[in-house]
Amino acid sequence: MLEGSARKELIDIAQSARIFAKDELRQRIADGAIGVFWIFLAPLLQLAVFYFVFVELFQARSAGVNNYLVFLSIGFWPWLAFSETVVRCTPLLVEKAGIAGKVRISRIGMFTGVAFTSFSFHVAGFVLVLLVLSCWGEVTISTNWLLLPILWAALFAFSFSIAIIFSLLNVFIRDTARIVGLFLTLWFFTTPIFYPASSLPSFSSNLQAYNPLGVIIAINRDLVQGREVSSLSSPSIILICSAFALAVFLYRRVRFELEEFS
Amino acid sequence: MSHELLVEVRGLSKAWAAASSPGQRAAALLRLMLGMRLHRKETLVDVNLDVYRGQSLGVIGSNGAGKSTLLKLISGLLHPTTGSVVVRGRVGALIELGAGFELERTGRENLYISAALHGIDTRTLAELIPEIVAFADIGEYIDEPVKHYSSGMVVRLGFALISALRPDLLITDEVLAVGDESFQRKCIRWIEDYIAGGGTLLLVSHSTYHIQKLCKHALWLKDGRVQAYGDVFSVTQDYLAFHEHLSRAASDSEKETPSQNEYRVDHVRINGLDDEKILLSEPSVQCEIALRSPDGRPPRLGWGLVRADGTAIYGAVSDMHEAQPIALPEGFVYSLDVDLLALLPGQYTLRFHAMDPEGIRMYDTVERFLTLRGSTRELGLVRVPHKWKSGCPSA
């Protein structure tokens, strides 16, 4: 049994997470002219853009890639979920300092709620893209797909960890939010999203074992396309766990200072 | 007031980290990561406080005294550095002139999130919104972004929300300082009803008038410490007197009374006491003033009554009323009875001046500080005799 104060804290976290997750969803829907339909329309439009640009316009091909649209879509959505969660949440602790200074909220609960909604938006998009691609006959539903929720849960844990590390750093060093954009651009181009890892020089290709996102994206492609998972690398698993451990460590060290520094 | 303890504050202290520049903030982060302590400055020191259900407590103090910090700690917005705060009940807080509204959102959107954070579900809030909008008197502005509101409108909406929630403990920080007269009256009426209905109030205000009007008890914070806690009139009067002393000290800083005089005040006894500070239970004093004379001639006595801030109230010299001292071997003694019935509660100073027999020059001055207690909300220095006439005005 949890002690009274720990139980109360958990209830506070859950309540704040629920309120801010709903609020974030409401904001995202309210900001668009077509409201809730934007959740469904945005990924379809994105897919249409990929199709037009890479299939019709560039007729893109890549060595070892049978269907570039499928390759790109399945690689791009995990990245989108990750990067948007990080970008949305990095300034969050500073952005919500006003309300946190006047109404009693759990900061970590608020952060979790917003991160969850940001990420879930793209999970919904990915599910829709899978449905469209399978309806088109571009991908085939297989038992491998049952493992996708586990992979995406790991992706959420990693996105959340990176986001909270940056957000906590941003409370103390306000340049962090500016640097994150550049950092993500670098990460984007060094991750095999638009190109297969096999097209990289051997040195860069070997380094992909240390890129958790590259590994997650590769596994995502394997699972969706019914292939055997070949890219599970222990350095990446260690890095994902380390990011989570660093996030927990940092949060525990600075949690009581957030009210003052943010 | 019931005997149910709603707020229990024990040994409460809060110290802020001294880190404002980007470099200091980065250094603070490094220290925290290494498990080292931060350099801190104490804002609140060892505050102990009990607030019972139905109690109304005003918190007063100069800027930076720690009032808002105390309220934030009680509201759960801050964590104490040491000590503890236990609150048994639902808190509604309006801290630093707002309810935490986001500027880009409309009033209605802000209400939904604020209400949810106060534990009010969407359906209940929807029922309360007409009442909130009517109380705040903001009409169609409810659907405008809060950035288009005046500061008064923001406070009105915040107060309207909190009032609709009817918390067990209402915490307001300077809410009555913003907003027009009619809204202030509306707030005061609501707070009075709330207290009469068993609500508990913690009110921070620089207006001792509002504190005296709405609170039965007061807490005076000075430099983060409790300077006084108790009956609202005693505490606020001491607080005002303190500021009056400060004002006078500032204006008197250039004046220095010479210590050695030919004619001088030997001693002063008020109501038989030699004390410098006297707390009066009755509004009258009996004074015995002994004067020294270097040449055996009886000196004249000047006396005056001033407010603690130095505002003169009355003054006279013995020869004006042909008063004569009693001649004793060691000097001359004047006896003086002063009726203070007309004075309003507060702190006053009695000044006695030794003057030459011609009454031309003042040689020495001795002061005695009087504190006059009372439970009145009348304003000013003296009670001016007056009479209210009830009924219809004459045609």
The pLDDT tens digits for A171-223 are 999 999 889 999 999 999 999 998 888 888 888 888 888 999 999 999 999 99
The per-residue pLDDT for range B25-46, each reduced to its tens digit, is 999 999 999 999 898 999 999 9
Contact criterion met (CB < 8 Å) for B99 and A103: yes
In a domain, A1, yes or no: no
Q: Among partner residues A101, A173, A256, which is closest to B79 by beta-carbon distance?
A: A256
Contact criterion met (CB < 8 Å) for A174 and B22: yes
Helices (H), chain A: 4-31, 37-50, 68-89, 92-95, 97-100, 107-136, 148-172, 176-189, 202-207, 212-224, 234-254, 258-261
In a domain, A118, yes or no: yes
pLDDT confidence tier of residue B215, bands split at 50, 70 and 90: very high
pLDDT of residue B1: 59
- Residue in chain B lying closest to A256 (CA): B79
The per-residue pLDDT for range A37-84, each reduced to its tens digit, is 777 788 888 888 988 888 788 877 776 777 888 898 999 999 999 999
By C-alpha distance, which of A60, A174, A254 is closest to B34?
A254
Classify B279 as helix, strand or coil: strand
Q: Strand order of the sheet with strand B56-60?
A: B91-94, B169-173, B200-204, B56-60, B217-222, B225-231
DSSP bridge partners of B225: B222
In a domain, A14, yes or no: yes
* Beta strand spans in B55-139 (E): 56-60, 82-87, 91-94
In a domain, A186, yes or no: yes
Q: Among partner residues A103, A172, A257, which is closest to B26 by beta-carbon distance?
A: A172
Contact criterion met (CB < 8 Å) for A253 and B79: no
Q: CATH: 3.20.20.80, 1.10.274.10, 2.60.40.2550, 3.80.10.10. Which one for B264-372? A: 2.60.40.2550
pLDDT of residue A46: 85
In a domain, A2, yes or no: no
For residue B12, the distance in angstroms to the closest alpha carbon of chain A comes to 16
State how far the Cα of B201 lies from the Cα of B94, in Å rounded to an integer.
12
Which residues in chain A have their CB less than 8 angstroms from residue B88's CB?
none
pLDDT of residue A2: 57
Is the CB of residue A211 less than 8 Å from the CB of residue A190?
yes
- Residue in chain A lying closest to B23 (CA): A173
Residue type, A71: F
Which range marks the domain in which residue A214 is found? 7-261
The per-residue pLDDT for range B366-380, each reduced to its tens digit, is 888 888 888 888 888
Which residues in chain A have their CB less than 8 angstroms from residue B114's CB?
103
By C-alpha distance, which of B111, B226, B237, B104 is closest to B165?
B111
CATH 3.40.50.300, applies to B5-19+30-246: yes
State how far the Cα of B180 lies from the Cα of B155, in Å rounded to an integer.
11
Contact criterion met (CB < 8 Å) for A98 and B117: no
Q: How many distinct structural domains can be found in chain A?
A: 1
Q: Among partner residues B77, B95, B116, which is closest to A259 by beta-carbon distance?
A: B77
DSSP bridge partners of B349: B306, B369
What pTM was estimated for this model as a whole?
0.76
Q: Is the pLDDT of residue B256 over 60?
A: no
pLDDT confidence tier of residue A246, bands split at 50, 70 and 90: very high
Is the CB of residue B202 less than 8 Å from the CB of residue B219?
no
In a domain, A217, yes or no: yes
- Residue in chain A lying closest to B37 (CA): A253
State how far the Cα of A147 lies from the Cα of A153, in Å rounded to an integer.
10
**Which residues are CB-contacts of A71 (< 8 A; sequence separation ≥ 6)?**
A62, A65, A196, A221
Domain segments of chain B as ranges: 5-19+30-246, 264-372
pLDDT confidence tier of residue B258, bands split at 50, 70 and 90: very low
Is the CB of residue A182 less than 8 Å from the CB of residue A64?
no
State how far the Cα of A174 lies from the Cα of A165, in Å rounded to an integer.
13
The per-residue pLDDT for range A106-158, each reduced to its tens digit, is 999 999 999 999 999 999 999 999 999 999 888 888 898 999 999 999 999 99
Among B29, B39, B74, B102, most A C-beta atoms within 10 A, so best to mutate, is B29
**HSE (side-chain half, CA atoms, 13 Å) at A229:** 15
What letter does residue A54 receive in the DSSP assignment? I
State how far the Cα of A194 lies from the Cα of A200, in Å rounded to an integer.
12
The mean pLDDT of B276-287, rounded to a whole number, is: 87
Structure token pair of residue A115? 């991160």
Residue A254 CA from chain centroid, whole number: 24
DSSP character string of B14-71? EEEE---SHHHHHHHHHHHHTTPPPPEEEEEEEEEEEEETT-EEEEE--TTSSHHHHH
pLDDT of residue A251: 96
Burial zone of B10 (CB within 10 Å; 0-12 exposed, 13-18 middle, 19+ buried): middle
pLDDT of residue A1: 52
The per-residue pLDDT for range B143-170, each reduced to its tens digit, is 999 999 888 888 889 889 888 888 999 9
pLDDT of residue A5: 76
**Which residues are CB-contacts of B387 (< 8 A; sequence separation ≥ 6)?**
none
Residue in the block written with tokens 């979790």: A112
Q: Is the pLDDT of residue B6 over 50?
A: yes
Would you list which residues of chain A are within 8 Å, Cβ to Cβ, of chain B? Answer: 15-16, 19, 22-23, 26, 30, 98-105, 169, 172-174, 250, 253-254, 256-257, 259-261
Give the residue, A28 or A168, on which the prediction is more confident: A168
State how far the Cα of A231 lies from the Cα of B360, in Å rounded to an integer.
106
Is the CB of residue B244 less than 8 Å from the CB of residue B347?
yes
By C-alpha distance, which of B56, B46, B346, B347 is closest to B226?
B46
Interstrand relation of B331-339 and B225-231 (parallel, antiparallel or unpaired): unpaired
The mean pLDDT of B312-332, rounded to a whole number, is: 88
What are the Cα distances from residue B305, in Å, to A178, B315, B374?
66, 6, 18
